[in-house]
Amino acid sequence: MMSVDMRLNLHFKVLILTLIVFTEELSNKEGVQAWTYHYNTGPNQRWLEARQWCQTHFTDMVPIRSQEETEFLNNLLPFNPKYYWIGIHKVAGVWAWAESNQHVSEEDQNWATAEPDTIAGQDCVEIYIKREPDTAKWNNEKCRNKKGTVCYNVSCAQESCSSHADCVETVGNYTCKCHPGFQGPRCEEAITCSPLPNPEQGSHQCFHPYGSNRFNSSCHFHCERGFWLLGMPQLLCQANAHWDNPVPLCQVEQCPVLDFTNFTGGSMNCSHPIAPNSYNSTCDFRCDEGFELFGLNQIQCDNSGKWTASVPACTVKKCSPMSSPVMGNMTCVDAIEPFSFGSQCNFSCQEGYSLTGDNPLTCLASGQWKYSTPACTVVQCSSLTDPPHAHIQCQDPVREHSYGSKCTVQCEEGYNLIGTNVTKCSSQGTWSHALPVCQAVRCPSLTSAPHGSLFCSDPHGEFSFGSQCKTACEEGFSLNGTADTDCTSAGKWSTDIPKCRAKRCPTLTPPAHGSVVCSDLHGEFSFGSLCMLSCVEGFNLNGTNNTECTSMGTWNREIPHCLAKRCPTLRSPSHGSFACSDPHGEFSFGSRCTSACGVGFLLTGWADTECTAVGTWSTDMPHCQARQCPLLAKAPQHGRMNCNHPNAPFSYGSHCGFECNEGFWLRGTPATTCNNSGQWSQNLPTCQPVQCQAISGLPLSLSMNCSHPLGNFSFGSQCLFSCNQGFSLNGTAALLCSSSGFWNDSRPNCTGMSMESAMLLYTGAGAATAVVILILIGLVLLIMMQFRRKGNTIVSDVPVLEDRENPAFEF
């Protein structure tokens, strides 16, 4: 289609031809003009002016980019004798587009024949529109020449297309040429790829810059643990609506195939949940009985394609190695390995040895031998014990009485060997020979001696070696020689047979004062001898009068003594003694005794006596009598007498003591003894009354009247007092002389007189005292005179001993 804007023509005095060509062919072709064309209908212009004009009013001078554009313009433009300038000129000697200053390629150049010429200064190009020949061809001309002007104007604006397109000028319009990956009128829509599936055991993650699964979307693929990605890990949505690579796959990790060729002695169980020998494949191992697992009992294919461990091994259980027993052999059959599970060993022994223990031995699944190792023990013969009277001596190369032992038998001394003296232990455990017998050697026969008998012990036969014979004598007989005799190893008796002789008693000697007479049966003082004993006159046999020699060789009784006859035992007279001479023993035949009396005693009878041959004393024993003192008939008056008489009344040794009654005192010695000459040792004492103080010097007013039954102012005296007229008695009226020699009270006074008379009385009393003393002296003299007179009433009734005869003779 074609259109011409007439308005522009008018305004610019130019013919502006606006030609819009919009055909399918044109739009499809590169470089098709998409512009509007405008030519100046005014005067022709120089090249530079023409261009400036185009640039001022339109975009630029037509550059002529294609044949189509050339043809289009040739048709459109009216003929101009000067033809039209185009936007090509020479720059530095080279033809270039004015718009871009780019070099015009050789093929794009569309020169008329013989053009471009090389005339200097022809640096601009014109097109021969509607010229014959060389229609629409180019010619170089001087730029200052004036020609027609033709311009073009673009139609693309900024907002014409989206950012994903290039705006392309077309003839009379524009078109949006989309960038790869985009579509739509403005190329706004990104091209869509098909959605991606997840691979098995995998997943993907996408980045969508222009929407889900559209152009330039990129997806990254991952596999689960134990799987690896086969293919490209990342996919890109291409402009052609296809992903740049196929979806990748997740392949399971593969482990190496296990080699079980060396796994023996056990079983295994493998499971492959995913794929053979791949991730999560598991193998379990178990060893057979008798095998031991070395390694893990389970291995697994891990996520990196490696087995967690190598295949374990089942090694056979080993028993401890064994060797042949001493003196034996061992043969083993091994099922698997030497001395391992299933091995069986047989044991055998050399000759003369036997196997002890179990045979054969098997190595058990536990790695232990079923039994303990057997041993070869030497064959044992029965143990030998010494036969009677023999000694065995063995040479034992191995053990006592075992195979190889050689034993020699030897009889004891006195025995003869009967049989073989050597025997050997065979490999069968038997002895080669029976043991020999040892027989005792014989001695000559024996007979017993007279009065004797023979007793023999024959351990090894009668009168043989070891026989012991004992000679026993009859009772009363003893052996002369050795009783025992032995049969020696030489076959001889050790001594001669002994004899029996009567036993001897000790030789008897007669006792003193006696004699012995014996009768003998088998010899003097020997077994059977009887001896009689007798004593001389005056002697008695103390014991039995005979003794006999017994079979023991002893006298059956002690030899008796001849004892002097005994007289009765004498007793010494009391208070006397005797002395004897005893030629044959005390109080025995021949003894003479003389008696004597002690001091104070007199002997009566015969002093001497003698023991006679018939055992009586010749006289009786005498007596001893104590000497007599005079008889003491009475005790002293007012006194007592107490006598003891150890021998006889009032004789030697008699003792008499004296005491006085109360109120009397003893004058003389209180005791007397009869001495060995028949005299009393002391005179007899007397008992005198106790004396009180004589009362004298009485005051004139006091008178006294006394009575004296025993003596003046002595025990028993009583005095009565009375006072004169005008005086009264002050005190007791009577005083009594007590047995202790004191008055029973103090003397009384007569009161009632003057002081002067009292004074006189005292003076008179002093004078009277001298008078009283004189009176007393006279009294004593009187008493003494009266004592000398008989019949005096005061005289004691006890006789005075000196004046009397010896009382003993008055009896």
Ligand X SMILES: *[C@@H]1O[C@H](CO)[C@@H](O)[C@H](O)[C@H]1NC(C)=O
- Which residues 487-506 are close enough to bind ligand X by CB under 6 A? 501
Say whether residue 262 binds ligand X (CB under 6 A): yes
Task: Give residue number: closest CB to ligand X.
Answer: 749
Give the sheet arrangement for strand 138-141, strand by strand.
94-97, 84-91, 124-127, 138-141
Decide if residue 569 touches ligand X (CB under 6 A). Answer: no
Cβ proximity to ligand X, 649 vs 731, nearer residue = 731
Rule CB under 6 A: choose which of 216, 485, 609, 651 binds ligand X: 216
Provide the minimum distance between the beta carbon of 307 and ligand X in the complex, in angstroms, as a whole number: 13
Give the interface segment with ligand X, choosing from 547-555, 605-613, 636-644, 745-753 (CB under 6 A).
Answer: 745-753
> Does 408 contact ligand X by CB under 6 A?
yes
**What is the total count of residues that contact ligand X (CB under 6 A)?**
35
Element (H, E) at 256: none
What the block records as the tokens of 635 is: 């005790």
For ligand X, which residue of 9, 66, 74, 153 counts as binding (CB under 6 A)? Answer: 153
H-only helix segments in 21-169: 24-28, 47-57, 67-76
* Radius of gyration over every alpha carbon of the chain, rounded to an integer in angstroms: 99
Residues 695 and 714 sit within 8 Å (Cβ to Cβ): no
Among 731, 741, 764, 807, which residue interacts with ligand X (rule: CB under 6 A)?
731
Each residue 362-401 as x (binds ligand X by CB under 6 A) or -, in order, gives ----------------------------------------
Torsion of CA 788, 789, 791, 792, to 10 degrees: -70
Residue 441: phi and psi, rounded to 5, are -75, 145
d(CA 93, CA 103): 11
> Which x/- pattern, by CB under 6 A, does the window 411-430 give for ligand X?
----------x---------
Would you say 300 and 318 are in contact if contact means Cβ atoms under 8 Å apart?
Answer: no
Query: Which CB, 218 or 679, lies closer to ligand X?
Result: 218
Name which of 563 and 674 has its Cβ closer to ligand X. Answer: 563
The answer to the question of residue 350 lying near ligand X (CB under 6 A) is yes
Task: Compare residues 473 and 687 and give the one whose CB is closer to ligand X.
Answer: 473
Shortest CA distance to 704 belongs to which of 696, 716, 712? 696
Q: What is the greatest pairwise CA distance in the chain?
A: 265
Q: Give the nearest distance from C-beta 725 to ligand X in angstroms.
A: 16
Q: Give yes or no for residue 730 binding ligand X (CB under 6 A).
A: yes
Peptide bond into 360 cis (omega under 30): yes
Give least dist CB 310 to ligand X, A: 8
To ligand X, the closest distance from the beta carbon of 324 in angstroms equals 7
Interface with ligand X, residue 466, by CB under 6 A: no
Q: Does 275 bind ligand X (CB under 6 A)?
A: no
Give the pairing of strands 686-689 and 664-667. Answer: antiparallel
* Contact status, residue 147 vs residue 50, Cβ threshold 8 Å: yes
Closer CB to ligand X, 433 or 667, in the complex:
433
Candidates 447, 746, 754, 793; binder of ligand X (CB under 6 A) is 746
Q: Any contact of residue 173 with ligand X (CB under 6 A)?
A: yes
Query: Min. distance of Cβ 331 from ligand X in angstroms?
Result: 9
> Do residues 187 and 179 touch, judged by C-beta distance below 8 A?
yes
Q: Is the CB of residue 467 less than 8 Å from the CB of residue 456?
A: yes
Contact by Cβ (8 Å): 171, 35:
yes
Q: Which stretch binds ligand X (CB under 6 A): 379-387, 456-464, 660-668, 743-751?
A: 743-751
CB of 229 to ligand X, least distance (A): 15
Distance CA 590, CA 596 (A): 20
> Which stretch, 381-389, 588-596, 748-756, 787-795, contacts ligand X (CB under 6 A)?
748-756
> Nearer to ligand X by C-beta: 494 or 515?
515
Question: Measured from the CB atom, is 293 or 365 closer to ligand X?
Answer: 293
Element at 42 (helix H, strand E): none
Pick between residue 429 and residue 543 the one whose CB is nearest to ligand X. 543
Among candidate residues 656, 665, 764, 675, the one with its CA nearest the CA of residue 715: 665
User: Smallest gap, in angstroms, from Cβ of residue 188 to ligand X?
Assistant: 12
Q: Per CB under 6 A, does 259 bind ligand X?
A: yes
Minimum CB distance to ligand X, residue 250 (Å): 10
Give 71's contacts (C-beta < 8 A, 6+ positions apart): 136
Tell me how far apart the alpha carbons of residues 659 and 668 are, in angstroms, rounded to a whole number.
11
Give how far Cα 669 sits from Cα of 657, 660, 680, 682, 796, Å: 9, 12, 12, 7, 17
Q: How far is the CB of 723 from ligand X (least distance, A)?
A: 11
Q: How far is the CB of 551 from ligand X (least distance, A)?
A: 16
Binding ligand X by CB under 6 A: which of 246, 273, 444, 726? 273
Report the DSSP pairing between strands 328-333 and 499-502: unpaired
Nearer to ligand X, 52 or 350 (CB): 350
Q: Is 154 among the residues that bind ligand X (CB under 6 A)?
A: yes
Secondary structure (DSSP) of 661-721: PTTEEEES-SEEEB-TTS-BSSPPPEEEEPBPPPP----TTEEEEEE-SSSTTBTT-EEEE
- Provide, rounded to whole angstroms, the least separation between the CB of residue 796 and ligand X: 37
Distance CA 49, CA 89 (A): 14
Q: Which residues on adjacent β-strands are paired with residue 329?
A: 348
Q: Which of 148, 226, 436, 452 binds ligand X (CB under 6 A)?
A: 226
When asked if residue 638 is in the footprint of ligand X (CB under 6 A), the reply is no
Is residue 317 a contact residue for ligand X (CB under 6 A)? Answer: no
Question: Under the criterion CB under 6 A, does residue 271 sit at the interface with ligand X?
Answer: no
Structure token pair of residue 296: 């893990």
Omega of the bond leading into 133 within 30 degrees of 0 (cis): yes
Cα first-last separation, the chain? 242
By CB under 6 A, residue 588 contacts ligand X:
no
Task: Tell which positions 469-488 bind ligand X, by CB under 6 A.
Answer: 480
Give 192's DSSP letter.
B
Of 23, 101, 304, 329, which one interacts with ligand X (CB under 6 A)? 329
Q: How many CB atoms lie within 10 A of CB 104?
A: 18
Q: What is the spatial distance between Cα 540 and Cα 564, in angstroms, rounded to a whole number?
A: 6
| 748 near ligand X, rule: CB under 6 A | yes
What mask of x and - would describe binding to ligand X in positions 549 to 568, judged by CB under 6 A?
------------x-x-----
Footprint of ligand X on this chain (CB under 6 A)? 8, 58, 153-155, 173, 175, 216, 226, 259, 261-262, 273-274, 280, 329, 348, 350, 408, 410, 421, 480, 501, 532, 542-543, 545, 561, 563, 730-731, 746, 748-749, 751
